[in-house]
Amino acid sequence: MGKITVEKTPIEGLLVISPQVFGDARGYFMETYNLRDFEEAGIDCTFVQDNQSSSKKGVLRGLHFQKEYSQDKLVRVIRGEVFDVAVDMRKGSATYGKWYGLVLSEENRKMFFIPKGFAHGFLVLSDLAEFTYKCSELYHPNDEGGIIYNDPDIGVEWPIPSGMDLILSDKDKCWPTLKEL
How far is Cα of residue 77 from the mean position of the Cα atoms in its chain? Answer: 10
What residues contact 174, with CB distance under 8 A and at least 6 apart?
148
Amino acid at 37: D
Q: Is 69 a catalytic residue?
A: no
Q: Is 140 a catalytic residue?
A: no
Helix (H) or strand (E) holding 24: strand 21-24
| Coil, strand or helix at 171 | helix
Query: Catalytic one among 100, 120, 133, 149?
Result: 133
Q: Residue 85 in contact with residue 172, Cβ under 8 Å?
A: no
| Coil, strand or helix at 139 | coil
Distance between CA 44 and CA 36 in Å, rounded?
A: 10
Q: What Cα–Cα distance (Å) separates residue 158 from each residue in 40, 83, 111, 139?
A: 33, 7, 19, 27
Residues serving a catalytic function are 64, 133
